Chains A and B, each alone.
Chain A
Amino acid sequence: SQQGEEDPQALSIQEGENATMNCSYKTSINNLQWYRQNSGRGLVHLILIRSNEREKHSGRLRVTLDTSKKSSSLLITASRAADTASYFCATEGGKLIFGQGTELSVKP
């Protein structure tokens, strides 16, 4: 059973715009991770944020974590067509559990 729930399920934007995806979860966690999956490929790790961190940056990615609300967000700034993929949050609280994902489409 999945713990994380991503919102929205699908997102379509133009190149250059920002994309924001949200993840909510139910139980306490040690860390929360975001992964990307291109069609027909394996998952690629993007960023890990620990439960005692509130914000983390990596290149064009910005992740926030609010443990009081049990939620996280992933912001991709200045999106590119190559960012088109499915994005999953995964919560770690003894086991690594994935959500259903957000399908992002970036149109050139």
Chain B
Amino acid sequence: EAGVVQSPRYKIIEKKQPVAFWCNPISGHNTLYWYRQNLGQGPELLIRYENEEAVDDSQLPKDRFSAERLKGVDSTLKIQPAELGDSAVYLCASSPQGTNTEAFFGQGTRLTVV
């Protein structure tokens, strides 16, 4: 069974440019998370979807970040415009239903803003 797939693995962009990350969760998983992880720290939740509905986006900086999950499957996370402080690893995870079970993580996208 394929795991959570993220692309790209690495991305280098100049500040003020837009960037997008893509995530394909495990088939059948209704819950999808986006986390941001800074070096030496734990993942910070950005947004959680249940099917196509964003049920928790309280930590998403909505002035520059946006996310969507069309048809309750794949998801994209966008930053526009990117700032230097956005450099981090962006992790996508999925779980079968809700937060009461283990989450399966993708390999992440390492973003460097220069």
Which A residues lie at the B interface, using CB under 8 A?
Answer: 1-2, 4, 30-31, 33, 35, 41-45, 48, 88, 90, 92, 94-101
Contacts and interface: CB of A to CB of B under 8 A. Distances in A.
Contacts of A92: 99-100
Q: Is the interface of A mostly helix, strand, loop or mixed?
A: strand
Interface residues of B, number: 22
Contact of B42 (A2, A31, A42, A45): A2
Interface of B: 4, 33, 35, 41-45, 48, 56, 91, 93, 99-108
A30 B100 CA distance: 7
B99 A100 contact: no
6 contacts: A4-B42, A42-B106, A42-B107, A44-B105, A45-B104, A95-B56
A20 to B, nearest CB: 19
Contacts, number: 55
B99 A94 contact: yes
B55 to A, nearest CB: 9
Listed residue (A41, A43, A48, A96) with the most chain B CB atoms within 10 angstroms of its CB? A96
A103 B75 CA distance: 31
A95 B42 contact: no
Contacts of B93: 43
Contact of B100 (A1, A31, A43, A45): A31
Given A2-B42, A88-B42, A42 B100 contact: no
